[in-house]
Structure 1
């Protein structure tokens, strides 16, 4: 495998590893989802790991493209990428382990803001990197709907 492919693989493995770590940290509380009162449009629990796997792969590819860019904004974009990944993990812990749905919703709003900032910075580094993050932004927007619905229904 050539050097660039190995580097790309590492960039993809990183968010997948972060997601796996989050999953490990909430493994004993994941089942609460099926016991919650959910909004009218709610996906089944089995769909979440599939969607997150795809999103983490897209994040990894996007971060690789941003990091490979000669742009002066690549460092800023990778910093924002790291911040949003941290907020992503924190949301999982607050929602599933602490069962604090309102605080989780507020964290989700902060996450959404940082995803927007990351997309803007990625765009400056490499527009393709930014476009790959749009499904993530859409999913987090939908997750905000779910989370807020759970706040009101539980």
Structure 2
């Protein structure tokens, strides 16, 4: 009887662990504090979103800007890019999966502020990497209101 109870406890712990890894969600803005324009830079540049509001499952790394899928499944990502308006430089960022261009958010206002946004659902394998790059020759802005954000979550495992 005691060995059956011990086996049952192990099985419950395993189920709890498996359930925890299936809980994946993050949301972050670009700057932890202050106000800054980033760019323009004449090459794609990784964006590191440092102000993490949520990071359930710790799949997003605020030191590198990389989201690494902990389980195979369908994931949804959204990103919002804020620009202050400029006569020459638009505001844009591209979402990459394992280095492959997936979607671009792009906006160009000559004056006043602008926001570009995009979202996508991706089938990811364990270890797949998703991140945002600043698009070449563009610039973005973030400040204490956190208008430039990157979020994602696991919809379901496969």
TM-score grouping bracket, smaller chain normalisation: under 0.3
Of structures 1 and 2, the larger Rg is shown by 2
Higher share of residues assigned helix: 1
**Greater strand share, 1 or 2?**
2
Q: TM-score, normalised by structure 1?
A: 0.26
Normalising by structure 2, report the TM-score.
Answer: 0.25
